[in-house]
Chain A
């Protein structure tokens, strides 16, 4: 039990810091977007790096935020019936739903995104929206990492819910 608690806490911490670090990409987006606009319009000096810097910053912001959002339970649910359930029944529903809708999906996503991240490094894949041609490896890795952290957070939630279903009291 102590061991489980420790694992869950570590996962929570990972999710938290993933979100809290990735959030600064939001500022990067604002500054790069505004810089490029001003440089182009007022100084006729457009950058070749702003476009893909922004798309990659945005993508990393979302992907690294997934686990944080799941930690905060902010992924949208249709709670028409769910809302009517007691907390323990909600936990029970989530245990079953996780087994069907979460784990198979996330295992696939982690696997396939890792495969493509490795491929990107192996073949020196580049981004080609502009002729800046930055490497795609780092971004593909960020997506795989985001998926992996989300899977971990799902495991932590699952442990919490299962504990609640069995014991009838909150895990922490």
Chain B
């Protein structure tokens, strides 16, 4: 009999994170479906390499597979931030389409050229848009952003800072208390369902919704090229199909639970409202300028990805 193929895979944790949970289920599904020919061991983020450094571990061959936010890899690829939760990005279903059929995954592979890792169709789960902000202060006009102390990250933070927001950096673990004690006024985190699971209703009265800051929060599977090449063809099909099913599964799961979480926030006494259009437009405008400036400074592939996503949005009538 042929020797069992053993892969190691990791998401970025912690164990209770929805992406980690779906990652673990997906690994288990591959193992099961392979009928004993393959085992994908699932590890919690931080157990093998530091949290959010999973893709480096894939590239170095420490693990074979990982499920993570492209944004965590800005350190090597500034363009990774484009296929992440960012202002002006594509909303969920459009992002999947762009990634699978609109040239997305090829561009991502181009971005990662020279590194021992790759993506393929089905490897991206867009996840629904994030909550704009959880806030102690009601934001109704652009002026309300001025001087607001907000814990942010990524391009969204930089764009808000350009609009006068006082952006503050805190490790995720200190967020809850910093809000409670008034060190910060507002913060961004993830989508409604994840945020509900973090009990954010306890620390912020206003739940402000808008896709303007992060229309989707894509998580992507990355595989080590050598590990992939070493797979027999039938297992390649199996792995790709199972991953494709679970990325869609997570998208559906989160979209469903976001509906429930929305009601939960309301029932808990939070005021849930849509960010006024005036503020949305101002942020969109600022974001456009920001990316135009940035793509002039960055590598060729940055502009390529940005333009491709923008064109896709236009074609889709967004």
Contact = CB atoms under 8 A, between A and B. Distances in A.
Interface of A: 40-41, 44-46, 48, 51, 123, 125-131, 133, 136
Contacts of A46: 149, 166-168
B154 interface: yes
A128 B74 contact: yes
B166 A44 contact: yes
B74 A129 contact: no
Nearest to A39: B166
Contact of B166 (A40, A131, A133): A40
B266 to A, nearest CB: 31
Given A40-B149, A131-B154, A48 B167 contact: yes
B159 to A, nearest CB: 9
B169 interface: yes
Contact of B75 (A40, A44, A125): A125
A44 B149 contact: yes
Contact of A126 (B74, B149, B153, B166): B74
B220 interface: no
B3 interface: no
Given A44-B149, A131-B154, A126 B167 contact: no
B133 interface: no
Contacts of B169: 48, 51, 129-130
B155 A136 contact: no
A100 B161 CA distance: 53
Interface string B173-207: 00000000001000000000000000000000000
B269 interface: no
Interface in B135-170: 147, 149, 153-155, 157-158, 161, 166-169
A123 B157 CA distance: 25
Contacts of B75: 125-128, 136
A122 to B, nearest CB: 11
A126 B75 CA distance: 5
Most buried by B among A44, A46, A128: A128
B4 interface: no
B168 A40 contact: yes
Contacts of A48: 161, 167, 169
Interface SS of chain A: loop
A131 B158 CA distance: 6
Interface in B62-81: 72, 74-76, 78
Contacts of B161: 48, 131
Interface of B: 72, 74-76, 78, 147, 149, 153-155, 157-158, 161, 166-169, 183
Contacts of A127: 75
Contacts of A123: 76
A34 to B, nearest CB: 15
Most buried by B among A44, A51, A131: A131
Contacts of B166: 40, 44-46
Most buried by A among B72, B147, B161, B166: B166
11 contacts: A40-B166, A41-B183, A46-B167, A46-B168, A48-B167, A123-B76, A125-B75, A126-B75, A128-B74, A131-B155, A131-B167
Contacts of B76: 123, 125
Contacts of A129: 169
Which are the 8 A-B pairs with shortest beta-carbon distances? A131-B158, A51-B169, A128-B74, A130-B169, A128-B75, A46-B168, A46-B166, A125-B75
B77 to A, nearest CB: 9
A130 B71 CA distance: 12
Nearest to A120: B75
B272 to A, nearest CB: 27
A133 B157 CA distance: 13
A149 to B, nearest CB: 24
Nearest to A43: B166
Nearest to B147: A44
B111 to A, nearest CB: 13
Given A40-B166, A46-B167, 8 more contacts: A44-B149, A44-B166, A45-B166, A46-B168, A128-B75, A131-B155, A131-B161, A131-B167
